[in-house]
Structure 1
Amino acid sequence: MATTSQSVRRAALLGSALAALGSLTACGTEHRAETAAQQVSAADTDTRCHTSELRAFVGRMDPGAGQRNFPVVLTNVSSRTCTLHGYPGAAFVDASGRQLGPDPKRTPGEPATVTLAPGRSAWAGLRYADPEVSGAHAATPAALLVTPPDERKPLKVRWTAGEVPVGGNASSVFLTAFEAGSGP
């Protein structure tokens, strides 16, 4: 009788262990299936504008009180509607591609998502103190590299607006978040 009782207990214990293992395996499978579904869903709903879908230009300078202000404009040249959210990356570079000065600083504020239909534009403000007024160390860049939000590849825009601050106490360059349109 003791042997039968032990056999029943062992069978019950083994059955419980197998049931628990089955539950854990099912949970793991379900999680992997959900993760795969989320990845497919994210790929299907990717509305972000990619560098290859955009063209960049720098608008006319709007001077004011010792400041130089420029709109940095990105235009959707693709056949699909896409979105920009946040700030551009930007860097002034010389003819060899070497960066001049530090990265621009972001101005405070809450970025909005800008939806760009084909042919539509968004702009971000680029601002710095006039080096002639501020006394900052200055250089004349060959280009401005503009990187769309969440992208790694920049767009290159020829720089024709003269010197920019690259060092010293008043060398900060500032960027605003993107807004709809082509400038103020």
Structure 2
Amino acid sequence: MKSKLTAVALATVVVAGTAAAAVPASAATAKAAPTRCHTADLKAGFATGEDAKPEMDQTKKQTQAFIWFTNQSKRTCTLSGFAGVDMIGAQKTDNTWSLVRSAKKPQKIVLEHGDTVDFSINLLPVAKSTPQKQKFVPAKFLVTPPNETKHFTLKWPFGGQILKQDGATHPGTYVNPVGL
């Protein structure tokens, strides 16, 4: 039986000079690169630890909320890019607000089984006394993992209200890439 060696395997034998036996390329098991994570591979939620809660009571600066994805599949997978985030408002005038993306450059994140990664949402809180037309009161977030079409529905756990800028070119409320 003839053995076919790849150029790399043959070069290894030649360089080693005194190799006892050459391993055919067909015997080597190549590990495939992980593919992207699908919505069904993940679970999601808001980070609610003390250091992760947005400061919704202050109104002088932006604050951040964090949403996490955990790989619950048995395989390693990757996430790269921005999650789609649609906020559904609690007021009749709120409707749905699809958040714009920041200018930050995404990176590929590799998630093994059980690994978690998060992303942040910059928020611009306003006072309760702000006129209803100028504020958005979050109730639910529809969160779609990067490059997916199915979403998670997350209840907004933090209260407060955000300056309504759903038609603005550069709003103070926007989403950042996964892992940054």
Deviation track 1:130-178 (CA, whole Å, cap 9, x = no partner) reads: 1229957224333111100110010111111113436357964211111
Deviation track 1:3-44 (CA, whole Å, cap 9, x = no partner) reads: xxxxxxxxxxxxxxxxxxxxxxxxxxxxxxxxxxxxxxxxx8
* Aligned match for 1:123, one of 109, 118, 123: 118
* Aligned match for 2:159, one of 159, 162, 165: 162
Identity %: 26
Residue 56 (structure 1) aligns with: 44
Shift of 1:116: 0.5
| Equivalent residue runs for 1:16-55 within 5 Å | 47-55=35-43
Structure 2-normalised TM-score?
0.63
CA distance in 2 between counterparts of 1:133 and 1:140 reads 10
Structure whose CA Rg is larger: 1
Q: Say if 1:86 and 1:178, in contact at 8 Å, map to a contact too.
A: yes
Deviation track 1:48-75 (CA, whole Å, cap 9, x = no partner) reads: 1000111111113243852221111111
The secondary structure found in structure 2 opposite 1:71 is strand
**Which is helix-richer, 1 or 2?**
1
Q: Say if 1:54 and 1:78, in contact at 8 Å, map to a contact too.
A: yes
CA RMSD of aligned residues (A): 3.0
Cα distance, 1:133–1:174 mapped onto 2, change above 3 Å: farther
The secondary structure found in structure 2 opposite 1:52 is helix
| Equivalent residue runs for 1:60-75 within 5 Å | 60-63=52-55, 65-75=60-70
| Equivalent residue runs for 1:127-146 within 5 Å | 127-132=122-127, 135=130, 137-146=134-143
CA distance in 1 between counterparts of 2:175 and 2:143 reads 11
CA distance in 1 between counterparts of 2:111 and 2:129 reads 37
CA distance in 2 between counterparts of 1:99 and 1:91 reads 12
Residue 35 (structure 1) aligns with: none
Q: Which piece of structure 1 moves more, 129-138 or 70-79?
A: 129-138
Are 2:147 and 1:150 aligned? yes
User: Gaps spanning 5+ residues in structure 2: where?
Assistant: 1-31
User: Gaps spanning 5+ residues in structure 1: where?
Assistant: 1-43
The secondary structure found in structure 1 opposite 2:73 is coil
Q: Say if 1:138 and 1:163, in contact at 8 Å, map to a contact too.
A: no
Structure 1-normalised TM-score?
0.62
